[in-house]
Amino acid sequence: MEKKLLKGTTTVGLTYKDGIVMATEHRATMGTLIAHKKTQKLFRITEHLGLTTAGLVGDAQVLARYLRAEAELYALKRNTPITVRAASTLMANILNARKYYPYWVQLIIAGVDDEGGHVYSLDAAGGSIPDTYVTTGSGSPYVYGVLEDHFKENMTKKDTVDLAIRGITAAMKRDAASGNGIDVATISQKAGWNWISGEEIEKRISAMGLK
């Protein structure tokens, strides 16, 4: 039954001048039922790599564990962190190997390495596409509307976090499968992984007049 829960989602990954921002909302639905209000859809894989998930809960959780384990093994064997491109290729190969009995997910893998910040969108068949910003899930059309209007290359971290929050908030207002709060994390070369607190997110929402 757990694998049937997560049907609608909104997630986003964006690059900024010194790193990346990832954000998701919390709601998991089962048909018209709001099954869970505190679903984790944003996963810290390493200090410099993150994953967002849209799709079936069981598949998403298994793939997050796979990627975390493989990233740790990569670092142990090579004495260097896995690159974002390598992590994306690895996950794409896992998905492609199961495309006739697939993991029902749409993923964002994002992080920083020696070449800068990167965001990759992965589909259930193993396609892996790099971009400057990506959004997934049932609320993604609303987020894309916000990003197309407001995203710019080399934005500051503050402006990029605000834009991610603005996009997720827009989706929660129109997509019934998205809601119940927002998770946001940033990754930079200097600071590594950093969660934005719920209190800070609420302050930003109020400051932008999004309530």
Catalytic residues: 9
Confirm if 118 and 134 have CB atoms less than 8 A apart: no
Q: Are 185 and 44 in contact (CB under 8 A)?
A: yes
What's the rounded Cα separation, in Å, for the pair 120 and 104? 17
Structure tokens at 90: 């690895």
Q: What is the C-alpha end-to-end distance of the chain, expressed in Å?
A: 34
Residues 55 and 7: their CA atoms lie apart, in Å, by 6
